[in-house]
Copies of this chain bind each other. A is one copy, B any other.
Amino acid sequence: MIEPIQWHDGRLLFLDQTRLPHETALIETDDPSVVIGAIRELAIRGAPLIGIAGAYAAVLAAQRHLGRSWEFVRLQWDAIGSARPTAVNLMWAIDRMRKVVQLSGLVSRMDVTALEREATAIHQEDREACERIAAHGSALLPDQAAVLTHCNTGMLATGGIGTALGVIRKAWEAGRCTHVYVGETRPLLQGARLTAWELSSLQIPYTLITDSMAAVLMQRGIVRSVIVGADRIARNGDVANKVGSYGLAVLSQAHRLPFFVAAPVSTIDLSTAEGAQIPIEERSAREVVVCGGREVAPVESRVFNPAFDLVPARLVSAVITDRGIAQPPGVDTIAALTGTRKPA
């Protein structure tokens, strides 16, 4: 079991995922701004995992200001919540942390203890959510067939076995899934660096492709479904996920293949009516100009580098969550999962 984040005695240990698969470097810190930096630089990434890391960072912030005013803590919590804009999990985690303390007077030892308990609960709940997502989803994957996934949605992206990759793992253990095709996921190669590494360590047979080869696998009938994670799901079932997901969804439809999204309910943002309202993070040109640590294009190149894209609900066959499946996703099926008849 890979543990990308561990909480130990008031300190956070995390795996620097930018160095994988070459080095498995653990960083230990009690400084919340180190965690914020790690989230921004994708040393800690994956929507569920950044939610968990954000919660622990919130504990570190309070711990640091023990006996002092909440004012500084609140500023730091805001910084944590907005470290990355697209995934809703950071804001969701900070919202949960806010609810277990008074936020008035001075930061007490009891406050820190309550926050620590909440962060640990968030972590543990995500671990369990992964198991339930996998249990719900594995039967959906076409039997005796290969599946395609994108980016990394496994142990490195969550507090447990993963979302989409957890589904694949269970389907493989059940003998349903025969082979996994992994899109390398340029620019930051989370598929090549992280998913291939996880599958390799689990001894699940996989084949790596460049992102542009996914269509060929579909054309030749080699893959029979696609499953990805989510960074935010709107009330109507629209999904924001790693750039490339939208294209895969369109290609899946054109080839009549199911396109699945797996995510914990915490990824559903009831305050967002539809995908168009989700802010899409644009990242640095360097990520595209540089490949494998080397400049591969003229440095003066203009670059378009959205980290995520939007998959409209109509292209999603099912949203698989820890509370069940929205199939097809839409206002009603999403409301049923979140237990909200009317949108919040």
Which A residues lie at the B interface, using CB under 8 A?
A: 21-22, 181, 183-187, 189, 192-193, 196-197, 200, 205-217, 219, 243-244, 246-247, 250-251, 253-254, 288-298, 300-306, 309-310
Chain B: CB-nearest residue to A299: B21
A282 to chain B, nearest CB (A): 11
Q: Given A290-B292, A291-B189, A309-B219, does the pair A243, B210 have CB atoms closer than 8 Å?
A: yes
Residues of B within 8 A of A290 (CB): 292
Select which of B197, B200, B212, B289 is within 8 A of A243 by beta carbon: B212
Q: Given A246-B216, A296-B193, does the pair A211, B210 have CB atoms closer than 8 Å?
A: yes
Contact A210–B186 (Cβ < 8 Å): yes
Contact B247–A302 (Cβ < 8 Å): no
Q: Give the number of copies in the complex.
A: 2
Contact A296–B304 (Cβ < 8 Å): no
Select which of B217, B254, B302, B306 is within 8 A of A253 by beta carbon: B254
Residues of B within 8 A of A298 (CB): 21, 196-197, 200
List, sorted by A's number, 27 A–B pairs whose CB atoms are closer than 8 Å: A21-B297, A185-B212, A186-B186, A186-B210, A192-B289, A192-B301, A193-B297, A207-B302, A208-B297, A209-B288, A209-B303, A210-B243, A212-B247, A213-B243, A213-B304, A213-B305, A213-B306, A213-B309, A215-B247, A250-B250, A250-B254, A251-B251, A253-B254, A291-B291, A292-B292, A292-B295, A292-B296
Contact B219–A246 (Cβ < 8 Å): yes
In the complex, given contacts A21-B297, A196-B297, what are 12 additional A-B residue pairs having Cβ atoms less than 8 angstroms apart? Answer: A185-B212, A186-B186, A200-B301, A206-B302, A208-B301, A208-B304, A212-B212, A212-B243, A213-B306, A215-B247, A215-B250, A253-B254
